[in-house]
């Protein structure tokens, strides 16, 4: 088992990475379990992994109940969040009832937000089952729901007690979802580690073939980089904003197209290409750098062309981005491959040129 640690000023917690860890919970999660658990999952994950998780808890003598939500980004809203609160209240869940997020990024974000707000704060554990959630959304304590005017605009920073990554859950992940997760992996390499970028170029075929050794390395490397950034800047006042490479554009795509039409990772991939082109426009990247990124994203079966809509619509959606400061949109760009930075020094004409192209 690979164990990493995330340390923030207010919390420290482990990330456990292992194939088959859902069946051996007592070796990792037992110290983090309370007298009662609420397992929250969705209609897709429940038939695959809920029974095994429940069986493991039963063998440990843990009291629990399960909540099954509809599946999809379009359900990441107040109505679905209230289903969690309704079940917790009906079961008379207490402040120390531990909420377990068994699923992908949507489940993790909603369960984390529910935990942050139920009786002003209940413990929760992340058990991510998609590559995107394993390498990104389950780590770092960002929790949120969507609003029709903007993605992840209502939420809280709230750290889990532990993160349990079972690589075997990726065996049932649809190919499209696997590729979506790879967008976040590629993001880490672009903002922080050009050697990891080279490794991804050399090993993309293994990742797409779900080679466990390659996946374990990609997950461990991504989580290690995120843990470092979160330790330095838990609440995104500075360096943590780098983790949003491609997201300002990507969130605009998701909002414009309708939540769930484009997967989050797909929108991020197209957003990464726009960020690369804007970085090239500003004189930081060479065209060959953008071609290199495009080639890798294409190899990962990710979109490299954003949908076409009016520049005014782009600007409207991006004005709701969480990185906006005093009305100025801040962009995550690349000084070079492996070196990201945040800037608001982007002219409307340069932005319009990139978006219109």
HSE-up of residue 304 (Cα within 13 Å, Cβ side): 14
142 is catalytic: yes
Catalytic residue among 244, 277, 322, 330: 244
264 is catalytic: yes
Catalytic residue among 192, 247, 281, 322: 247
Catalytic residue among 54, 177, 236, 266: 236
Length of the chain: 357
247 is catalytic: yes
Per-residue DSSP letter, 125 = E
Q: Tokens at residue 235, please?
A: 């609440």
Look up tokens 């969690």; give the residue.
84
Q: Tokens at residue 308, please?
A: 């076409």
335 is catalytic: no
Measured distance CA(147)–CA(166) in Å, rounded: 31
Catalytic residue among 76, 151, 192, 264: 264
Q: Is-contact 197 337, C-beta < 8 A?
A: yes
For residue 225, CA distances in Å to 106, 244, 246, 296 come to 22, 13, 17, 20
Residues with Cβ within 8 Å of 252's Cβ and at least 6 positions away in sequence, in order, are: 271, 313, 314, 317, 318, 321
82 is catalytic: no
244 is catalytic: yes
Catalytic residue among 226, 277, 317, 330: 226
Strands (E), 70-147: 98-103, 124-128, 142-147
Catalytic residue among 76, 142, 187, 294: 142
266 is catalytic: no
Q: Tokens at residue 230, please?
A: 């979160």
Catalytic residue among 76, 161, 192, 251: 251
Catalytic residue among 79, 90, 92, 120: 120
226 is catalytic: yes
Q: How many helices (H) and strands (E) does the chain have?
A: 12, 11
Residue 59: CB atoms within 10 A of its CB come to 11
Q: What is the sign of the dihedral through the CA atoms of 214, 216, 219 and 224?
A: negative
User: Three-class SS of residue 114?
Assistant: helix
Catalytic residue among 240, 277, 294, 317: 240
Contacts 24+ apart (CB under 8 A), 306-314: 306/249, 306/253, 306/270, 306/271, 306/273, 306/274, 306/355, 307/253, 307/256, 307/257, 307/262, 307/270, 309/256, 311/351, 311/352, 311/355, 311/356, 313/252, 313/256, 314/249, 314/252, 314/256, 314/355
Catalytic residue among 54, 177, 184, 266: 184
**Residues designated as active site:** 120, 142, 184, 226, 236, 240, 244, 247, 251, 264
């Amino acid at each position: 088992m690979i164990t990493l640690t995330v340390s923030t000023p207010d919390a420290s917690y482990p990330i456990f990475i292992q194939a088959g860890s859902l069946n051996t919970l007592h070796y990792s999660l037992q110290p983090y379990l309370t007298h009662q658990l609420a397992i929250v999952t969705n209609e897709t994950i429940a038939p695959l992994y809920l029974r095994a998780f429940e069986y493991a808890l039963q063998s440990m003598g843990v009291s629990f109940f399960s909540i099954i939500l509809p599946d999809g980004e379009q359900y990441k809203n107040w109505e679905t969040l209230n289903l969690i609160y309704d079940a917790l209240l009906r079961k008379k869940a207490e402040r120390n009832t531990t909420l377990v997020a068994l699923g992908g990024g949507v489940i993790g974000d909603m369960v984390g937000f529910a935990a942050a707000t139920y009786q002003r704060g209940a413990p929760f554990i992340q058990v991510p089952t998609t590559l995107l959630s394993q390498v990104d959304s389950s780590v770092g304590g960002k929790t949120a729901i969507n609003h029709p005017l903007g993605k992840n605009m209502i939420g809280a920073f709230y750290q889990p007690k532990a993160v349990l990554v079972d690589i075997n859950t990726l065996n049932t992940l649809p190919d499209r979802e696997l590729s979506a997760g790879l967008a976040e992996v590629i993001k880490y390499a672009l903002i922080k580690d050009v050697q990891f970028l080279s490794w991804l170029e050399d090993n993309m075929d293994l990742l797409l073939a779900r080679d466990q050794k390659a996946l374990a390395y990609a997950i461990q490397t991504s989580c290690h980089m995120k843990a470092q950034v979160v330790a330095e800047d838990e609440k995104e006042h500075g360096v943590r904003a780098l983790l949003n490479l491609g997201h300002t554009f990507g969130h605009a795509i998701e909002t414009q197209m309708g939540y769930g039409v484009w997967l989050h990772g797909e929108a991020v991939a197209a957003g990464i290409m726009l960020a690369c082109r804007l970085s090239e426009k500003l004189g930081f990247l060479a065209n060959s750098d953008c071609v290199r990124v495009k080639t890798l994203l294409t190899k990962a079966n990710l979109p490299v062309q954003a949908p076409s809509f009016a520049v005014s619509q782009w600007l409207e959606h991006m004005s709701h981005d969480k990185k906006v400061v005093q009305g100025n949109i801040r962009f995550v760009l690349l000084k070079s491959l492996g070196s990201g930075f945040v800037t608001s020094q982007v002219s409307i004409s340069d932005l319009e040129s990139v978006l219109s192209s």
